[in-house]
A and B are shown apart, each in its own frame.
Chain A
């Protein structure tokens, strides 16, 4: 799409926020919110499931997030620079707050094993169903041991496939700080893998 810069005589090509038209439509008519819901319901559910480790709790939280988003849509303002989606960042900010509230309310940390989630939740595609359960269980166990922010950063990066910039916006950090946060989390995971192989080798 064509947009003019500060200089009125100079036109530049820019990428607009991918959800802008859907958000405008939903603001005009809340019934159009369904398109945004369909697009992001699985992503929000995933994030909630990885954090809460309980399918019912993840469903409740997903419902909470979308009801809040629908109610709060008139006050939503685009924050991030395109390309990407300000709406998605906003949705995950709501989700993150809801998770923090849920934790405060229940005063417990997730302890459910991966098997519980795998038995109940249906996986996104056939490929993931064929995943090595041991590998799956190992990865789940490794990220579970991380501090909340590092774990969330890894889930947003690997599961939601967000860019470092988007993750930074969700977590309230700069892009550079987020990149370092992810790298530190990876080094912790790497150290755990090393410890695991040392233990099995000895």
Chain B
């Protein structure tokens, strides 16, 4: 019983995917409506529901004015974060091969740390040179 419900759910999901893919004009065949061999042959009601929702739930777009106003707000917020008092921007050191996803995330952190350390090192060096020149 449980297995049958799972199988029907899988069939329905495959049918939705096929319809959505066809909508995206991907080269995937949508299962036929007629005939007893189609995946949703015994679930005619579900098939009708899928077809209705696929056609009947449109996408809306926010107004241009709203989108631009929010973009502006986010830009200002980002400027505050990257303002003169914020931390120095890190430099990215390219790493050719990422060994695994877990370490990849750690490597991304390390890149930022390395970048910060380089920036700090350069700042200290410049200060020492300026101080020596002032003394000379």
Cβ of B55 within 8 Å of any chain A Cβ, yes or no, is yes
Check A28–B53 contact: CB distance below 8 A. Answer: no
Main secondary structure of the interface of A (DSSP, over half): helix
- The answer to whether A34 and B71 touch (CB under 8 A), given A59-B66, A183-B12, is yes
CB neighbours (8 Å) of A41 from chain B are: 62, 67, 70
Q: Roughly how many angstroms separate A190 CA and B45 CA in the complex, as a whole number?
A: 5
Q: Closest approach, in angstroms, between the C-beta of B9 and any C-beta of chain A?
A: 4
Cβ of B90 within 8 Å of any chain A Cβ, yes or no, is yes
The segment out of B30-38, B94-102, B123-131 that lies at the interface is: B94-102
CB neighbours (8 Å) of A136 from chain B are: 56-58
- Which one of B8, B24, B61, B82 has the greatest number of beta carbons of chain A within 10 Å? B61
Check A180–B9 contact: CB distance below 8 A. Answer: yes
Q: Roughly how many angstroms separate A143 CA and B24 CA in the complex, as a whole number?
A: 23
The segment out of A87-95, A96-104, A118-126 that lies at the interface is: A118-126
Check A31–B60 contact: CB distance below 8 A. Answer: no
CB neighbours (8 Å) of A3 from chain B are: 97-100
Interface size on B, residues (CB 8 A): 51
Q: Which of B61-100 contact A (CB under 8 A)?
A: 61-63, 66-67, 70-71, 73-75, 77-79, 81-82, 89-90, 92, 97-100
Cβ of A38 within 8 Å of any chain B Cβ, yes or no, is yes
Cβ of A57 within 8 Å of any chain B Cβ, yes or no, is no
Check A34–B10 contact: CB distance below 8 A. Answer: no
Cβ of A172 within 8 Å of any chain B Cβ, yes or no, is no
Check B48–A190 contact: CB distance below 8 A. Answer: yes
Cβ of A109 within 8 Å of any chain B Cβ, yes or no, is no
CB neighbours (8 Å) of A6 from chain B are: 100
Q: Which residues of A contact B (CB under 8 A)?
A: 2-6, 8, 24, 27-31, 33-34, 37-38, 41-42, 45-46, 49-50, 58-59, 62-63, 66-67, 70-71, 77-78, 117, 121-125, 128, 131, 135-136, 138-140, 142-143, 154-155, 157-159, 161, 164, 176, 179-180, 182-183, 186-187, 189-191, 193-194
